[in-house]
Amino acid sequence: MKDEICTNETNPEVIIEKLASLLISDNIAYDLSEFFKIFGDKTRIKILQLLSIQETCVHEIAACLKMQQSAVSHQLKILKQYKLVKVRKEGKHVFYSLNDNHIMQIFNNGVDHINE
Amino acid sequence: MKDEICTNETNPEVIIEKLASLLISDNIAYDLSEFFKIFGDKTRIKILQLLSIQETCVHEIAACLKMQQSAVSHQLKILKQYKLVKVRKEGKHVFYSLNDNHIMQIFNNGVDHINE
DNA sequence: CTCATATATGAATATATATTCATATATTAA
DNA sequence: TTAATATATGAATATATATTCATATATGAG
């Protein structure tokens, strides 16, 4: 086999090997998909948008969304786990707010896309 | 009941009503979640990233990802349905490519987030 | 302490969806 | 036409996950 410099490769196996080497790792692909999955639920989208308006406590969120407190709590747990929201306790109330503005940027990218 | 101008509302029901009025609609929340759901899968993430390198045909994608052709085809159908990829047929081959650069922007927002 | 209110959570259920398997369709070569 | 290759797709299976229900925990009021 000759030692060639080949910039315009046509051998299918070599093309596949080259592409495979440029492919993101399974772990990164997994982490990314897990991240976007958070936005892949209607309830979580509504909660995040609501919290972008102002800090809100659990039963107010549930009331706005016309959902059960338990369902909201479960989703808040996921949002907290992925550090998209933060928590402030005040007496009997637990107030949730967005953890960073970055989130709304991603959110708005989505809005731009569906509006195009 | 008096007709008051109240900028600093404290009545819980009024707060909830105000927030509810600012909440995005169920339909928009649904559309957004459906959009982000596309990125919420490891295989689709890999396919999109691969196509960001170059136009690629189905069996090459399958080979790079070390997945069955059928599984890849099913996912490509979803990506096509949501207009994230476009198709070009050439003989026996079907070449897929990204439909717009916007997609990579969203993708990179996610990368930024998980790297923070 | 007792009661009411706010929140969290485990288990069960229902639903969505990713992959596999088998097979259909399409194109090219011989 | 027949065979081979590339792609698509319906059905079945397996798995993930959103919501509900029941209940636990926590805080404050009386």
Of A24, A29, A110, the CB nearest to B32: A110
| pLDDT score for A9 | 61
- In a mutational test of the A interface, the residue from B13, B35, B103, B108 whose CB has the highest number of chain A CBs within 10 Å is B35
Q: What percent of chain A lies above the pLDDT cut of 90?
A: 74
Position B3 confidence tier, pLDDT thresholds 50, 70, 90: very low
Judged against a pLDDT cut of 60, whether residue A1 lies above it is answered with no
In the prediction, which pLDDT does B27 show?
A: 96
Residue B8 is predicted with a pLDDT of 54
Q: Which two tokens stand for residue A101?
A: 């503005």
Taking an 8 Å cut-off on Cβ atoms, the answer to whether B42 and A33 are in contact is yes
Please tell me the predicted confidence (pLDDT) of residue B30.
97
B106 vs chain A: nearest CA distance in angstroms? 6
- Name all domains of chain B by residue range, CATH numbers in brackets: 12-114 (1.10.10.10)
Q: Look at residue A100 in the predicted model and tell me its pLDDT.
A: 84
* Residue among B63, B13, B102 nearest A111 (CA): B102
Which of A9 and B88 is assigned the larger pLDDT? B88
> Is the pLDDT at A48 greater than 70, yes or no?
yes
Of B33, B41, B109, the CB nearest to A42: B33
Residue nearest to nucleotide D19 (CA to C1'): A71
Task: State yes or no: pLDDT of B7 exceeds 60.
Answer: no
By DSSP bridging, strand A93-98 and strand B85-90 are unpaired
For the entire predicted model, the pTM comes to 0.90
B98: which strand partners?
B85
Q: Which tens digit of pLDDT belongs to each residue from B29-55?
A: 999 999 999 999 999 999 999 999 999
Provide the positions of strand C that have an atom within 7 A of a protein CB: 5-11, 17-23, 26-28
CA distance A7 to chain B (A): 15
Burial, B20: exposed, middle or buried (Cβ in 10 Å; 0-12, 13-18, 19+)?
middle
Residue B9, pLDDT score? 60
